[in-house]
């Protein structure tokens, strides 16, 4: 039997798409407030939003005669025709959010327009007649007991803390989207975020710092560029501020936060040569373009968009960001050679070596700077090894001959030429050493002469505090120094020379990603791998031949030394026959 579903059920079904958790309620309400021209947003939350999400704004308000309609399905003031949809400037347009939310919660809507003498209130789900209620001009939507009537959905809710985390992220995104609007967030009557509207450059950077941390603000480049009807502005993190996860990536298209594959790809490509594989850039970017060029109606919660001319958008993003990074690279003074001015934190700038063939090219190029009768590989190496050891007893990785461009060690073994990626090899060794130390009951801590204070977000600092004991077993001596900072007093001994600031930030990101529930072992290994990366030899450091030989011997002793912690090979070998072929010898 076919029958028409009651409207309450239809709305509940729609809610399944739009209202996933308290954070999605908050997102819809904030969007409505911004669409109404609000200058101030006040968000009150109880129990992670499961008991209450209340958003109050000072926007245009809803006339009493339309209040009930606002709760009706497919009722919207934002579009009237298909043409409107194609040029939509508002964040909402589907007319679905309020009825959907009202169908799975106890919703109360109070609003007052500028001309009204007092406010009017209605309660969901069905639209009864509005009753007078005190309210300043603007609107308050109060959503209580989310999913009280849909137990199946309720079961999917996580802890209060997790739900609040999602909701807070939504509020922070909104605050990033609109610097000109004041934002306040309270949880269980406690103030969590208080951001006055930011209009001057100083106020703007203060807000950026509050939302993304001082470290980002200190390590970000402002960019602003427009061409062909597209404009991109915002901040991109320097390559040295890369992260072990993509948690500091915010992209807004015409004021709407989106996660989009095309955008992510363009940004990643722009960073490709300066960021090592597995590292993520940090950015907050705003793309503005004519609404007709982007379809926002492809996702019920509008997390995704579709660009009419995606190729152009992709290239525009890629070029603009790439150029900004390159310009930063030449401006900034750096310790190394100019070519490495923008060297990534972990890998040295050596894009061509990433592929196997890159290594081969590098080995071929080695010969170019040695014109004339100088030491060609064969000749020079021969004498070297003759005095070092007879071939039969040569260790597997041989003996070092030289260092190439501060990146590779060249060595000769019984079979031919060995090329070692210095940084990757050292990283592997450090990792295994740390792991052994931890297995034997804890890596010793090496106190720092001068403790280092590290700025984190409040949530990150909380996490560090919660994991303090586990971190202490790894050799991190830490203490909370303030709501958003942690003091590092000691580092694991094998990492004593690492940059405490960068190391801690990455370790915290690892912890955050794995959450407390994950297996301890996994978490520890991840942290160790990250830590090892910081403790290893930077590219560009000159090593004496004795130091290089010591590294080779250590590699031979170390488990899994053939691969670094990211799975890249640490060394490769070119046999004499392969070298001969390069010279077409014996053919
Ligand atoms: P949509 O935003 O897609 O139009 P909603 O269900 O979210 O649909 O809202 C329905 C209508 O209620 C909106 O079109 C708007 O006219 C009105 N409305 C909702 N929230 C507010 C608010 N905070 N201030 C003013 N009007 C609002
Ligand atoms: Mg809406």
Q: Is 467 in the pocket of ligand 1 (CB under 6 A)?
A: no
Q: Is 427 in the pocket of ligand 1 (CB under 6 A)?
A: no
Q: What φ, ψ does residue 572 adopt, rounded to 5°?
A: -145, 165
Residue 358 is predicted with a pLDDT of 26
Q: Is 259 helix (H, G, I), strand (E, B) or coil?
A: coil
Residue 544 is predicted with a pLDDT of 80
Q: What's the pTM?
A: 0.61
> For residue 45, which of 28, 27, 22 has the smallest C-alpha distance?
22
3-state SS string over 58-77? CCCCCCHHHHHHHCCCCCCC
Q: Is 32 in the pocket of ligand 1 (CB under 6 A)?
A: yes
Burial label, 113 (beta-carbon count in 10 A; 0-12, 13-18, 19+): middle
Residue 405 is predicted with a pLDDT of 80
Q: What φ, ψ does residue 397 adopt, rounded to 5°?
A: -95, 5
Integer Cα distance of 93 and 281 in angstroms: 33
Helices (H), 37-141: 67-70, 82-86, 97-103
The pLDDT tens digits for 475-498 are 888 989 889 899 999 888 777 777
Residue 369 is predicted with a pLDDT of 27
Residue 281 is predicted with a pLDDT of 92
> For residue 162, which of 54, 49, 248, 244 has the smallest C-alpha distance?
49
Integer Cα distance of 565 and 510 in angstroms: 15
**Residue 559 corresponds to which tokens in the numbers above?**
């488990």
Q: Are strands 40-46 and 182-187 parallel, antiparallel or unpaired?
A: parallel
Q: Is 97 in the pocket of ligand 1 (CB under 6 A)?
A: yes
Residue 339 is predicted with a pLDDT of 25
Residue 32 is predicted with a pLDDT of 96
545 Ramachandran zone, left/alpha/beta (phi>0; psi -120 to 50): alpha
Q: Which residues are in the CB-under-5-Å shell of ion ligand 2?
A: 32, 92, 97
Q: How far is the CA of 151 from the centre of ligand 2 (A)?
A: 25
Residue with tokens 């060394």: 571
Q: Judge if the upstream peptide bond of residue 542 is cis by omega within 30 degrees of 0.
A: no
Q: Is 219 in the pocket of ligand 1 (CB under 6 A)?
A: no
**Residue 50 corresponds to which tokens in the numbers above?**
């499961």
Residue owning the nearest CA to atom 19 of ligand 1:
32
Residue 561 is predicted with a pLDDT of 67
- CB-based contacts of 353: which residues, under 8 Å, 6+ apart? 359, 362, 407, 408, 421
> For residue 249, which of 509, 548, 552 has the smallest C-alpha distance?
509
Residue owning the nearest CA to atom 8 of ligand 1:
95
Mutate to test the pocket of ligand 1, among 98, 135, 300 (most ligand atoms within 8 A of CB): 98
Integer Cα distance of 547 and 568 in angstroms: 22
Q: How many residues does the chain have?
A: 587
**First-last CA distance in the chain:** 82
**Residue 415 corresponds to which tokens in the numbers above?**
């079979």
Residue 75 is predicted with a pLDDT of 86
Residue 178 is predicted with a pLDDT of 96
Integer Cα distance of 144 and 150 in angstroms: 13
Q: Tens-of-pLDDT digits for all 587 residues of the chain?
A: 899 988 888 888 888 778 989 999 999 999 999 999 999 999 999 999 999 999 999 999 999 999 999 998 888 988 888 888 888 888 988 888 999 999 999 999 999 999 999 999 999 876 678 999 999 999 999 999 999 998 888 888 889 999 999 999 999 999 999 999 999 999 999 999 999 999 998 899 899 999 998 889 888 888 999 988 899 999 999 887 888 888 899 999 999 999 888 999 999 889 887 777 778 899 999 999 999 899 887 777 777 888 989 889 999 999 999 888 887 764 433 332 222 222 222 222 222 222 222 222 222 222 222 222 322 333 333 323 333 334 456 688 888 888 888 788 999 988 889 998 887 787 777 777 777 776 676 667 788 888 888 988 888 898 888 888 888 887 888 989 889 899 999 888 777 777 788 888 878 887 777 655 555 556 667 777 777 776 665 555 677 877 888 888 888 877 666 666 565 677 888 888 888 888 877 65
**Residue 581 corresponds to which tokens in the numbers above?**
């072929």
């Amino acid at each position: 039997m076919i029958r028409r579903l009651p409207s309450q059920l239809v709305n509940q079904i729609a809610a399944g798409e739009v209202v996933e958790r308290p954070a999605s309620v908050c997102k819809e309400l904030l969007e409505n407030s911004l669409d109404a021209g609000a200058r101030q947003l006040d968000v009150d939350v109880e129990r992670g939003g499961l008991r209450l999400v209340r958003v109050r704004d000072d926007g245009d308000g809803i006339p009493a005669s339309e209040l009930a309609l606002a709760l009706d399905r497919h009722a919207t003031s934002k579009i009237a025709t298909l043409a409107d949809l194609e040029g939509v400037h508002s964040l909402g347009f589907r007319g679905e959010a309020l009825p959907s939310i009202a169908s799975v919660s106890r919703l109360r809507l109070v609003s007052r327009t500028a001309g009204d003498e007092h406010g009017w209130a209605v309660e969901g789900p069905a639209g009864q007649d509005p009753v007078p209620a005190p309210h300043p001009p603007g609107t308050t939507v109060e959503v209580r007991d989310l999913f009280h009537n849909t137990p199946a959905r309720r079961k999917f809710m996580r802890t209060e803390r997790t739900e609040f985390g999602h909701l807070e992220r939504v509020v922070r995104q909104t605050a990033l989207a609109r610097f000109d609007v004041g934002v306040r967030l309270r949880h269980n009557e406690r103030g969590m975020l208080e951001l006055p509207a930011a209009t001057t450059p100083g106020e703007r950077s203060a807000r950026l710092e509050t939302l993304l941390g001082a470290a980002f603000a200190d390590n970000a480049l402002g960019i602003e560029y427009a061409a062909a009807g597209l404009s991109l502005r915002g901040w991109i993190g320097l390559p040295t501020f890369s992260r072990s996860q993509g948690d500091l990536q915010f992209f807004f298209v015409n004021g709407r936060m989106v996660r989009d594959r095309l955008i992510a790809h363009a940004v990643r490509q722009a960073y490709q040569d300066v960021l090592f594989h597995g590292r993520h850039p940090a950015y907050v970017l705003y793309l503005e373009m004519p609404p007709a060029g982007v379809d926002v109606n492809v996702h019920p919660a509008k997390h995704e968009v579709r660009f009419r001319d995606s190729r152009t958008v992709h290239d525009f993003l890629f070029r603009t960001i790439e150029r900004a990074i390159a310009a930063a690279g030449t401006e900034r003074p750096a310790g190394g050679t100019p070519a490495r001015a923008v060297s990534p934190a972990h890998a040295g700038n050596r894009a061509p070596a990433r592929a196997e063939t890159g290594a081969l090219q590098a080995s071929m190029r080695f010969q170019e700077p040695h014109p004339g009768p100088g030491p060609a590989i064969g000749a020079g190496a021969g004498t070297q090894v003759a005095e070092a050891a007879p071939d039969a007893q040569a260790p597997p990785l041989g003996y070092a001959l030289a260092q190439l461009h501060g990146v590779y060690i060249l060595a000769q073994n019984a079979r031919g030429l060995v090329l070692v990626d210095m940084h990757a090899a050292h990283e592997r060794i450090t990792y295994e050493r740390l792991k052994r130390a931890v297995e034997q009951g804890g890596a010793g801590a090496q106190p720092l002469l001068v403790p280092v204070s590290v700025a984190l977000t409040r949530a990150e600092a909380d996490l560090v505090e919660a994991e303090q004991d586990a971190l202490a077993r790894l050799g991190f001596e830490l203490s909370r120094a303030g709501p958003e900072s942690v003091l590092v007093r000691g580092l694991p001994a094998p990492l004593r020379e690492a940059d405490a600031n960068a190391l801690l930030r990455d370790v915290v990101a690892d912890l955050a990603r794995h959450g407390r529930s994950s297996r301890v072992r996994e978490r520890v290994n991840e942290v160790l791998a990250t830590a090892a990366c910081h403790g290893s030899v930077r590219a560009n450091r000159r090593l004496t031949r004795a130091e290089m030989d010591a590294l080779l011997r250590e590699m031979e002793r170390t488990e899994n030394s053939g691969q670094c912690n990211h799975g890249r090979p640490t060394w490769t070998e070119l046999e004499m026959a392969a070298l001969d072929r390069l010279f077409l010898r014996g053919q």
